[in-house]
């Protein structure tokens, strides 16, 4: 270990010549100049080793002892660095690379959106950027709970959103709101069309003419029950279609999870702060001195132009546990499936759940496929004028 330390500090091998080289050695020792590996190389000639720093202190010793000092060799890490060409550029490059790595690790580099059907990924990402979540934003500047709250408040076409940060990636799980159907008058003629892709499981028509049957594959927007029928007098009759329709459909989900899990325990220390928003924009963030914490929020004021939220922070100790793929699946699968179920339409019956998992570059990728039975059918009013014009043409 001592030899390794000397190598990193750097040392020189010197040769001492003169009438009294022993006097040189005595003076060096008296002045606390550390020398080692002293060897006699001839009459009044010695070789020895000393640190590069101590070599600078020999000038006065050599003068008093009337000896000559010459350097035989320079050894150690510091001298090897100096021999490298463009050392300054190399060290600068290493420093810049380190700074980039540290900066990137604190940013969101990728955003993964799941659960969207009609909304595009780019559309959701554009909306999220308005709340601060976008690529290369600092993770420390994001308040995921506030993003979720504001997103749901401003976007009526989304009924659920969860934003989770894992490493440099942001995972966004959304569930689109079921569009409120156009309310058709009880006496107004109408068709019924499908609002999803799948296979017709149940079709019970009360009024109207079915144009599909149970077991047929249908797509979103396809006509299921027609409100136009033929009467016994060979004339066209318009009715308000009514039916109970259940569609069997399949939904696929996929997400990556880390194999290193955070375990948090509360220390008992707490602090309180307030977050203030003006017209939907945060002007004061809730802050705490704790490095690791969880928080509870209490809405104090929620007006159109002013929002005040009381935030109570709970300090936490954080340790990290390395998981096997089997352990990670056992932990994350139930959590992921629970999130998916929350985003399903009401009255959805889950028929079967299939899953698979694969370890990939230090992460566990989990696939889940749900087979579900869901109510379907949206009424569309029939315009008699448009129908008559079509028939005349």
**Residue 336 Cα to chain centre, angstroms:** 15
Q: Per-residue pLDDT for 241 more than 80?
A: yes
How far is the C-alpha of 254 from the C-alpha of 259, rounded, in Å? 16
**Beta-carbon contacts of residue 61 (< 8 Å; ≥ 6 apart):** 24, 27, 28, 31, 33
Burial 189-218 (b: 16+ CB within 10 A, else e): bbbbbbbbbbebbebebeebebebeeeeeb
Higher pLDDT, 339 or 177: 339
| CA dist 72 → 49, 81, 200 (Å) | 10, 19, 92
How far is the C-alpha of 165 from the C-alpha of 108, rounded, in Å? 8
| Residue 215: closest CA among 200, 196, 225 | 200
| Residue 28: closest CA among 3, 52, 64, 1 | 64
Q: How many CB atoms lie within 10 A of CB 48?
A: 20
Q: Per-residue pLDDT for 279 more than 80?
A: no
Can you tell me the mean pLDDT for 283-312?
85
Q: How many CB atoms lie within 10 A of CB 376?
A: 27
Higher pLDDT, 82 or 66: 66
How far is the C-alpha of 255 from the C-alpha of 111, rounded, in Å? 12
Q: Tell me, what's the pLDDT at 80?
A: 64
Q: Tell me, what's the pLDDT at 61?
A: 84
Q: Per-residue pLDDT for 362 more than 90?
A: no
Q: Per-residue pLDDT for 262 more than 50?
A: yes
User: Picking from 119-123, 183-187, 208-212, 214-218, which range would have the lowest pLDDT averaged per residue?
Assistant: 183-187
Q: Per-residue pLDDT for 225 more than 90?
A: yes
Q: Tell me, what's the pLDDT at 217?
A: 94
Q: For 135-154, what is each residue's pLDDT tens digit?
A: 989 888 888 888 988 998 89
Radius of gyration for the chain, computed over Cα atoms and rounded to the nearest angstrom: 38
Q: Could you tell me the sign of the dihedral formed by the alpha carbons of 254, 260, 261, 264, in that order?
A: negative
Please give the domain boundaries of the chain with CATH numbers for all domains.
2-82 (3.30.70.260), 88-177 (3.10.20.310)
Can you tell me the mean pLDDT for 72-97?
71
The strand order across the sheet containing 293-302 reads 281-284, 260-278, 306-322, 293-302
Q: Tell me, what's the pLDDT at 390?
A: 47
- Mean pLDDT rounded to a whole number for the chain: 84
Q: Per-residue pLDDT for 338 more than 80?
A: yes
| Residue 10: closest CA among 71, 60, 89 | 71
The pLDDT-based confidence of 156 (bands split at 50, 70, 90) is confident
The pLDDT-based confidence of 1 (bands split at 50, 70, 90) is low
The pLDDT-based confidence of 393 (bands split at 50, 70, 90) is very low
């Amino acid at each position: 270990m001592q030899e390794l330390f000397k190598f990193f500090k750097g040392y020189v091998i010197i040769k001492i010549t003169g009438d009294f080289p022993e006097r040189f050695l005595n003076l060096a020792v008296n002045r606390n100049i550390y020398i080692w590996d002293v060897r006699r190389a001839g009459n009044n000639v010695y070789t020895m080793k000393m640190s590069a720093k101590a070599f600078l202190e020999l000038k006065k010793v050599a003068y008093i002892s009337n000896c000559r000092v010459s350097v035989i060799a320079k050894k150690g890490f510091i001298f090897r660095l100096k021999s490298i060409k463009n050392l300054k550029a190399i060290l600068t490059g290493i420093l810049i690379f380190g700074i980039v790595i540290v900066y990137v690790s604190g940013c969101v580099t990728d955003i993964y959106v799941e659960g969207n059907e009609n909304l595009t990924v780019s559309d959701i990402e554009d909306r999220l950027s308005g709340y601060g979540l976008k690529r290369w934003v600092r993770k420390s500047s994001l308040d995921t709970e506030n993003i979720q709250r504001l997103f749901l408040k401003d976007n009526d076409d989304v009924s659920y959103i969860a934003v989770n940060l894992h490493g440099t990636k942001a995972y966004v799980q959304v569930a689109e709101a079921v569009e409120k159907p156009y309310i058709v008058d009880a006496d107004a003629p109408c068709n019924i069309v499908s609002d999803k892709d799948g296979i017709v499981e149940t079709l019970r028509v009360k009024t109207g003419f079915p144009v599909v049957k149970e077991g047929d594959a249908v797509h979103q927007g396809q006509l299921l029950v027609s409100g136009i029928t033929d009467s016994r007098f060979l004339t066209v009759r318009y009715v308000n279609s009514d039916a109970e329709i259940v569609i069997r459909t399949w939904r696929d989900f996929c997400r990556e999870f880390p194999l290193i899990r955070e375990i948090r325990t509360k220390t008992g220390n707490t602090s309180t702060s307030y977050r203030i928003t003006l017209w939907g924009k945060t002007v004061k963030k809730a802050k705490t001195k704790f490095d690791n914490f969880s928080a509870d929020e209490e809405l104090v004021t929620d007006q159109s132009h002013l929002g005040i939220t009381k935030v109570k922070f709970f300090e936490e100790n954080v340790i990290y546990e390395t998981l096997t793929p089997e352990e990670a699946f056992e932990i994350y699968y139930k959590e992921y499936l629970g999130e998916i179920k929350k985003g399903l339409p009401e009255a959805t019956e889950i028929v079967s759940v299939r899953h698979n998992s694969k370890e990939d570059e230090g992460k566990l990728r989990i696939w889940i496929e749900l087979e579900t039975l869901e109510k379907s059918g949206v009424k569309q009013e029939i315009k008699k004028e448009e129908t008559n014009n079509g028939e005349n043409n």
